[in-house]
Amino acid sequence: MKLSDNFSLHEFTRSQTATRHGIDNTPSKEIIGNLQSLCLGVLQPVRQHFQKPMIISSGYRCAELNIKIGGSITSQHVKGQAADIEVLGTSNLDLSDWIHHNLNYDQLILEFYNEKEGPHSGWVHVSFDKTNNKHEYKEAYKNEQGQTRYRLR
């Protein structure tokens, strides 16, 4: 099933963890609608701007799958409103900054980007809520104790 010109439902639901553990990661019609809004509102414009393939490392995750990987059942991934992405040949910092300055979104997180590790370190988490986009731009990093922390960008 196509969600937009360049994105299919399969890209958002495939999961090695779900397959390995026999978890059914099939979204409801409502969640498919959320994924389509995410594609049309954010991902397709990113694809059109950069004119390069996008890697979706994490899209929809049912509650059981999200718990299995250590995530929260309140995650926007569970609602089909979020994706973790990279654009081939584009710095994750440049990608997140472009989204921030050009698109409407709910949350945008530059995850574990480290300039010393190069432009492709980390990834970009982006979410879209068709009813209430907060336009919140943050950066995720590990503190000295190895705990994940967030700061506004």
Residues 31-87: tens digit of each pLDDT = 999 999 999 999 999 999 999 999 999 999 999 999 999 999 899 999 999 999 999
Q: What is the pLDDT of residue 120?
A: 85
Helical spans, DSSP H, in 39-126: 44-50, 63-68, 92-102
| Beta strand residue intervals within the chain, DSSP E | 2-4, 7-8, 54-58, 82-87, 107-111, 123-127, 136-142, 148-152
Q: What is the pLDDT of residue 117?
A: 92
Q: What is the pLDDT of residue 119?
A: 81
Q: What is the pLDDT of residue 118?
A: 83
Cβ pair 129, 99 in contact under 8 A: no
What is the pTM (predicted TM-score) of this model? 0.94
List pLDDT tens digits, range 80-98.
999 999 999 999 999 999 9
Average pLDDT on 9-26 reads 97
Residue 138 half-sphere exposure toward CB, CA atoms < 13 A: 15
User: Residue 102 above 90 pLDDT?
Assistant: yes
List pLDDT tens digits, range 110-146.
999 998 998 889 999 999 999 999 999 999 999 999 9
